[in-house]
Structure 1
């Protein structure tokens, strides 16, 4: 489990004011409509469990690798991590790189899985 320092949490909170966050139900709809689903956690975290159909692109590789996975800057992209902070930062970074249709899952994989269990 990742523990984030105060600076990281501050940056994540700021990023969340600049991006679109989807609650799990909205995220599920977006996933069924297609687009690129990005798990921005480490390879080890991804291997422990992820949303079906997600590509693993760790946040630190995002800027270098995103054009290979999605060259179309208008295509929908949905980012997530375990709790929502790295996903928000990744979505914010993608917007800075010129991607126009980006969102993150509010609460990350944890919220997504918890919402699935309650359905």
Structure 2
């Protein structure tokens, strides 16, 4: 047990004790700060991943309205609360943390096309990289994520139980 000398105010001891702890900033569904280890890593992985724009994906999904292509799978890799607020029409939810374990049951054919998306396109780049490394041949990340989709004025599906 430490003994504090009476000449040092207790507030100074508390301040000194907390000053040595690093500050932890958490980012949920937000674009990570530039020049971070995370964005540096994503930037390193990005060139190996094909990206598809919101307009391109929408064109593929709406070639035949009411009958999206059977060999095109759109996977949402965001957090459950993000999915519950809104998501792309006809998307399948699989969180980023369970993607590798669930993918074979969701998309058994490694020749099918897969588009993964998140909020802004960072997590989906990493998810696409994992799927590519697992042997899936036609994997794409939605450039800019669902933010770009909504920014293009394209429709989203909303959970009727969530009030935004």
TM-score (norm 1): 0.90
In terms of fraction of residues, the more helix-rich structure is 1
Matches within 5 A, 1:34-113: 34=69, 35-113=72-150
Tell me the residue number matched to 1:116: 153
TM-score (norm 2): 0.67
Which structure's CA Rg is the greater one? 2
3-state SS, counterpart of residue 115 of structure 2: strand
Size of the aligned set, in residue pairs, is 117
CA distance in 1: counterparts of 2:136 and 2:61, whole angstroms: 17
3-state SS, counterpart of residue 116 of structure 1: coil
RMSD, aligned α-carbons = 1.5
Greater RCO (Cα-Cα under 8 Å, separation 6 or more)? 1
CA distance in 2: counterparts of 1:31 and 1:95, whole angstroms: 22
Once the two structures are superposed, residues 27-69 of structure 1 have per-residue CA deviations (whole angstroms, 9 ceiling, x without a partner) of 2123345211000001111001100111111111111000010
Tell me the residue number matched to 2:54: 24
Q: Structure 1: state its 5+ residue gaps.
A: none
Q: Structure 2: state its 5+ residue gaps.
A: 1-27, 63-67, 155-164
CA distance in 1: counterparts of 2:78 and 2:55, whole angstroms: 21
